[in-house]
Amino acid sequence: MRVPEPESPRRPPDLRLVPAALAVWAVMLLGIAGGSAAAVLALVVSVLLVVGGAVGGALGAAGPGAQGAPGGARCRGAVWAGPVRAAAGCAAAAALVVTAHVLLVERHPLRELAERGAAAELRVVVTDDPRPIRSTAYGPGGVSMVLVPARLERAAAGDGSWAAGGRVLLIAPAAEWAVLLPGQSATAEGLLAPAGRRDLTVAVLRVRGPPGEVGAPPWWQDAAGGLRAGLREAAAVLPPASAGLLPGLAVGDTSGLTPEVEADFRAAGLTHLLAVSGANLAIVAGAVLALLRLLRADPRLAAVLSALAVLGFVVLARPSPSVVRAAAMAAVVLLALAMGRGRSALPALAVAVLVLLPADPALAVDPGFALSVLATAALVLLAPGWSDALQRRGLPRWAAEAVCVPAAAFLATAPLVAGLSEQVSPVAVLANLLAVPAVAPATVLGVLAAVLSPLGAPLAQACAWAAGPAVGWLVLVADRSAAVPGAVLGWPGGVAGALLLGVLVLALLMLGRSPRWRALLLAVTLGLALVLVPTRVVPPGWPPAGWSVVACDVGQGDALVLATGRPGWVVLVDAGPDAGPVDACLDRLGVQGISLVVLSHLHADHVGGLAGALRGRAVAGVAVGPVREPRWALREIADAAVGAGAPVVALVAGKRLEWPGLVLDVLGPRHPASSVDGEDGTAVNDGSLVLRARTPAGTVLLTGDVELAAQADLLDSGADLRAEVLKMPHHGSRYTSVEFLNAVSPRAVLVSVGAGNRYRHPDPGLIGGLERAGAAVRRTDRTGDVAVVGSPVGLVLVARGSPLPAPR
C-alpha cells in the first residue's frame, strides 16, 4: 500500500465551513441572550438571506453576461457564493432551533413559580458532576453546598403537578448530594428561584434535605466510579499535595485536591490542567497510537484501537457534557493526524461546532466550549507553523512542539480568559511552558493506575509512584509561579475587555510576520521587561521603611501583620484561608519569628492558612478568643501549635499585651455566645476578638468579623473605639452600622477582601460613605498588600500592588 505524501504546510487553511460555524454560533448567542424576540428576528433575517442568495444565484446563472464572464471571475464568484449560501442556510436552521428552545424556556410552567419563590418538588436526572460552592465559613474544605446541573422530568408545586422537560440547577447540601453521579435520578424539595444566567436554565431550586427516591446510576458510571476510587487509593503513596493532584490531572477528579494547591494553580493560570479537556484525550490516544506504531500495527487497526482508547477514557472520566465536548474537540485533531492532512482539521472543527451547537444550544454561552474551540483552532492553525519555523532554526521537533502548543493555546484563549476574569497573567505563559513536559507522563501514568487498579493495588501504586516526579514538578511550578509578585495584571472585563485583548493579539500575530516588525516587537518587549521586572516582579521599596501594620492580600480572608519593634518579629492577627498567600506575605516582609498569632475567631477564612504562617518560623504562642467553635478548627489549631512548639492561650476583654513598639488592648467580645450549635455563622462572627493597637504610625482598630450585635455591645460598653486606622469588619459586609463607623472616625480604612468573591464584599454604600467622609480606603483585592507607615507628615498608606486573581 502506497502511503500518500503529506500536504505542504504552506497551503492555506480550508476556511469554507468557517462562516457557517460562526453564523450558527452568532445566531445561537443572539437568541439565548436576547430572548424569543431576538431569536425570531434572527430567523427572519436568515431566511431572507437564503432567499436572496438563491434568487441572486439564479439570476446570475441566467443573466446575459453570465456565459461571457471571464473564467477567473466565475471561479471567484463560485468560491464565495457557496460558503455564503451555506452560512445563511445554517443560520436559518440554527435560528429555528434556538427559537424553539427559548420559547419553551419562556413559557415553561416553572418560570412563573420561580419568580414567586414557590415551594416545589422536582424529579430530575443529574446531567453533570455536582460542583462545590466553596465557603470559608465552613469546614476544612470550605464546602457546604454544591451546584447540581440536572434535567427536569416531573414537577409538583402547590396543587398542580405535570411532566415537563428543561434544564434546572439545584443548590443542594454537599453532604448528601455531592455523591450523585451523572445519569442518576432523584427527587428534590425546596424553594424555586429565577435562573441567574441566560443559558436556557428554566429555574433554580434551593434544595432542603437529602435526595429522595435515588435511582441507580448507569453501569458505566458505576464502573468509572470504581476505577476513579482505585486511582485515589493508589495515589495515597504520594505526598498529600501530589496525591490530590494526580487524579485531577488524569481524569478530572479534584475531590482530594488541597486548598493550597488549588489556589496556586488558579494564580499560576494552570487550572485548565485540572479539568478534562481535549488535551487529556489527545494525550491518551496519542500514547496508544505511538505504542502501536512502534509495534508496526496496521494503520486501520491503530485507528480503531485509538478510538477505543478515547471511548474508554470518556467512560473513565464520566461522560458528562464537558467530557463529551472535550472528546469531540480531541477527535478533530486526531482525525486530521490520522488522515495525514493538516487542512482537514479546520473543516472538522467547523463540523464539530455545527453538530454540537444545535444538539445543545446552551453550549453557545458556555465559556468552556468557547475555550475548547479556540484552543483547538490554535493547535491546528498556529502551532504547526510555529513548530516548523523553530525546527528550521535547529530546534528539535519535541522541543519545538513543547514550546508552540501551550503558547498557541494561551494566545488564542487569553482574550476570553481576560474578559471573564478581568485579569491578565503574564506569568501563566512561563508556568504553562514549564508544566508541559510533566503533563503527558502524569496523565498517562495516572490513567494506567486507574485502569490497573482492579488487578491489584501494587500495580496501581507502582504507576502512581512513577508519576510522582512529574506531579511534584507541577506542584512546584504552581507554587513558585503563584508566589511571583506582579503575576497578575488588571484588565477591563466583559466583551469590551475580551475584544480589546483580541485585537492586540491579532496585531501582534500580524506584525510578527514581518522581519522588521519582529525586531521592533523584540525591542519593545525588552524595554517593557526592563521597566516591569524591577517594578512589578521585584518592587523597589517593599516593604516600606518604618511600616507598622500590613494588611496581607490573602484572598477572601484576613491576615494583618503588626511590627513589634524587634527586627524580624511580628504579631500576626489571623492567617487567611490558605497557607500559601500568608506564607508569601510574611516572606516578603522578612519575618523570622512571630511573637504571637492572634486568631480573631475560628472561621476558615481566618485560620485556614495557619500552617503556612508557622512554616519555618519561630512562634511564641497562638491566641484564641472565648468562642471555641467550630470544633474542627480548634482541633487543627491545637495540632498546628503543637507541631510548632507553641502554646495555645486564651484572650478575653480587658487583657493588655505589650512589646517594645506595640501595645494591644483586647476590647471584645463583651458578651460571647456560650454555644453556637446550629447557628449560621453570625454568632461566631460576633465572638471575634476586637483589638486596639497602638503603633508608631497611630492607633489601629482590628475588628475581625464583628457584625451588628457585637458592634452595638462595643458602643454600649463605653470603650474608646477611636482609631486612625480601621480594619473594616467582616471584609466590608453591609452588616456594619454607621454609628459604629462614626465612633471609630478613622482616617484610613483597610478592607481585606478577595477579588470576585461571591458575597459581593465590600458593600459599595459603606465604602462610598467612608470616602465621602474623607477616609482613605484601600482594598486588598485591588491593591494587594497594604502597609501603614508613620511619617513626619502623618500617616501614609503604601500599596505593593499585584493583587491575587479572582477564583475561576
Per-residue model confidence as pLDDT tens digits over 267-303: 777 777 776 665 666 677 767 777 777 777 776 676 6
CA atoms within 13 A on the CB side of 145: 14
CA-nearest of 577, 486, 416 to 267 is 486
412, pLDDT greater than 60: yes
**Per-residue pLDDT reduced to its tens digit, 524-561:** 555 555 444 444 444 445 888 889 999 999 999 999 99
* Pairing assessment for the beta strands 698-702 and 725-727 based on DSSP bridges: parallel
User: Could you tell me how many residues make up the chain?
Assistant: 808
Q: What's the average model confidence in pLDDT over 670-685?
A: 69
- Mean pLDDT of all residues in the chain? 79
Confidence band of 77 (pLDDT split at 50, 70, 90):
very low
Residue bearing cell 493547535: 379
Question: Is 702 a residue whose pLDDT tops 90?
Answer: yes
pLDDT-derived band at 231 (thresholds 50, 70, 90) equals confident
Neighbouring residues of 389: CB distance < 8 A, sequence distance ≥ 6: none
The helix (run of H) or strand (run of E) holding residue 281 is helix 278-294
Amino acid at 165: G
C-alpha cell at 771: 470616602
Query: How much is the pLDDT for 31?
Result: 80
Cell of 323: 467530557
Q: How confident is residue 655, by pLDDT bands cut at 50, 70 and 90?
A: very high
pLDDT confidence of residue 138: 39
| Tens digits of residue pLDDT in 315-338 | 777 666 566 666 776 666 555 555
In a 10 Å sphere around its CB, with 0-12 CB exposed, 13-18 middle and 19+ buried, how is residue 311 labelled?
A: middle
Q: Which three cell numbers stand for residue 239?
A: 505526598
- The per-residue pLDDT for 265 is 81
Domains in the chain: ranges and CATH: 18-61+74-106 (no CATH), 109-217 (2.40.50), 382-424+492-538 (no CATH), 547-799 (3.60.15.10)
Residues 600, 648: Cα–Cα separation, whole Å? 13
Q: Output the pLDDT for position 71.
A: 47
Task: Kindly state the percentage of the chain with pLDDT values over 70.
Answer: 77
Spatial contact of 110 and 203, defined as CB atoms under 8 Å apart:
yes
User: What per-residue confidence (pLDDT) applies to 24?
Assistant: 85
pLDDT for 659 beyond 70:
yes
3-state secondary structure of 465: helix
Pick from 271-280, 569-578, 672-681 the range whose average pLDDT is largest: 569-578
Selected residue with higher pLDDT from 502 and 474: 474
Residue with more model confidence, 324 or 125: 125
**Is residue 635 scored above 70 in pLDDT?**
yes
State the helix-helix crossing angle for 367-381 and 397-421, rounded to 10 degrees: 150
Query: What is residue 563's three-state secondary structure?
Result: strand
Straight-line distance from the first to the last Cα atom of the chain, in angstroms, rounded to the nearest whole number: 51
Rounded average pLDDT over 85-103: 81
* SS3 category, 548: strand
What CA–CA distance (Å, rounded) separates 572 from 646? Answer: 14
**Is 82's pLDDT higher than 70?**
no
Alpha carbons within 13 A on the beta-carbon side of 437 = 10
Among 343, 410, 406, smallest CA distance to 380 is for 343
In this prediction, residues 25-38 reach a mean pLDDT of 78
- pTM here? 0.61
